[in-house]
Amino acid sequence: MTTVRDVTRDLLRSLGLTTIFGNPGTTEIGFLRGFPEDFRYVLGLQESICVAMADGYAHAGGRAVLVNLHSAGGVGHGLGHVFTAYRNNTPMIVLAGQQVRSLLPGEPFLGALDAPSFPRPYVKWAVEPARAQDVPGAIARAYHVATQPPFGPVFVSVPADDWDAEADPLPVRPAIPGFGPDPSALAELVSALTAATNPVLVVGPGVDAEGAIPDVVELAERVRAGVWASPMSWRSSFPEDHPQFLGFLPPEERGTVEALHGHDLVVVLGAPVFLYHVYRGSSDRTLPALFLVSDDEQVLARARVGVGIRSGVRAAIRALADSLTEPSRPVPAGRTRRPRPPESVPITAEWVFATMADELAEDVLLVEEIPSHLLVRREYLPVRAKRTGLLSTGGGALGYGLPAAVGAALGAPDRKVVAVLGDGSSMYSIQALWTAAREHLPVTFVIVDNAQYAAVDILAGPENGKMPGVELGGIDFTGLAASMGCHTHRVEHPHELKSALTSALADDRPTVVHVHVDPNPTVLY
């Protein structure tokens, strides 16, 4: 007899979903029974960590991913990073266990009430199939929804006894391709770019998600436009050391309008208009003429200004490049970076990132979660890789960076992965170091320890005094990391940092570099 489990495993093989992230429970036994030798199960010690690892794996490897969660409680634990996956446009299938069907009317122990509603609205689609025989088809549909632009997570709840039911084989369907821009809309944008005297591009995570950084570099150079990165961007979509790179737009409306003042045309590629974090008043100025290219109809619909063009970003960029001739306007100058910071005691965050810039190769995959040092990183450690140079979170659920780096190392084993993390962020998901050691992953984790949740104080402002609940001093990260099987370095003086980084980057084991920095936060803007 061919079972639901047999058909599903054949389907997962055909879709390349044989690496599964999870933390197993009793409702998952039917799915995991007789686990095939050609599948890989990556164990995380808590469900939110499993989801974040899967997210990093998907983005680093440029593929869909399957994460297996445990009934209602496990899904609840994982929801913070399901939200992150939704914001990060991660093609993720969340496969959750459920109690056996015969017990569900009695609201049993481990039963999930109305399971498909639980992860909404942060999944593109959610289902608990009506019959066991419908499970493989539901998973196939979930895959196609997750991998159809705009990418995003989906959810399938499966009762524990469905896996042993009889099922018919499922036909294999090819992936659904992306789509290009409407010709008349593209022609309007070409005319606007041709007539502009000082255009600017704003690039967002959608550029890197489609592997289109080389394409957007070629476009920027051809049209002689400066390039801003969009606010709160969770991927680096333009080389940050390029001579036409202007920096990152601030995550608030007034600053963004002021930054774009002086341009007569703004072309936004693969980013919202715009994703803000704080409100500091409005500007007397208005945005210049604006075109927005996105594959997401919701991004296009909620933009308050500009002309929307729905398209895959790479397809639009290439169509633009093919339609434009090089203009006569001068090549714009990019940003001027601040001079290298001096060595000082206590160690400054500026010194940490400047030293890292000396040590990291151009193609390193940097994973960051440093809320209080983000602007400093951008100033002194530019991301230079032309594909997946940076992974971060577009959602705001803390604890993403450490497990995402573990998943990224699994998803891109040919890349060197370096995570730069705050002490507070690290403690949300420190257990992921155990998985890094278990999987023998050569990841370097640099924990920048300012002994507090400094981002809270920065946003509160000095006029509000010291905020409660922000002090974290005294966490022994080297001790924690060593207890889970990682190699460690403790850095307390500036001269120790270079040798620690050199050693960690050369190590084929997961290594934590714990750097004690000045607890007084630096604010560049």
pTM summary value: 0.95
pLDDT score of 110: 83
pLDDT higher than 70, residue 524: no
Contact 205, 307 (CB under 8 A): no
Contact 411, 63 (CB under 8 A): yes
Predicted confidence band of residue 469 (pLDDT cuts 50, 70, 90): low
What crossing angle do the helices spanning 47-61 and 401-411 adopt, rounded to 10°? 50
User: What is the distance, to the nearest Å, from the Cα of residue 99 to the centroid of all Cα atoms in its chain?
Assistant: 32
Contact 173, 13 (CB under 8 A): no
pLDDT score of 140: 97
Nearest Cα neighbor of 512 from 452, 465, 442, 458 is 442
Contact 420, 444 (CB under 8 A): no
Predicted confidence band of residue 474 (pLDDT cuts 50, 70, 90): confident
**pLDDT average, residue stretch 7-36:** 96
Secondary structure (DSSP) of 478-490: HHHHHHTT-EEEE
How many helices (H) and strands (E) would you count in the chain? 19, 18
Residues in the chain: 525
pLDDT higher than 60, residue 523: no
Count of C-beta atoms within a 10 Å radius of residue 471: 12
pLDDT higher than 70, residue 459: no
To which H or E segment does residue 297 belong? helix 297-302
**pLDDT average, residue stretch 390-415:** 94
- Domains, in order of start, for the chain: 4-164 (3.40.50.970), 183-323 (3.40.50.1220), 349-516 (3.40.50.970)
**pLDDT average, residue stretch 375-403:** 93
Give the pLDDT confidence of 319-334 residue by residue, as tens digits: 999 999 889 889 999 8
pLDDT higher than 90, residue 176: no
Q: Which of 34-48, 109-123, 279-293 has the lowest mean pLDDT?
A: 279-293
SS3 59: helix
Which sign does the torsion angle of CA 30, 34, 36, 40 carry? positive
- Bridge partners (DSSP) of residue 108 are none
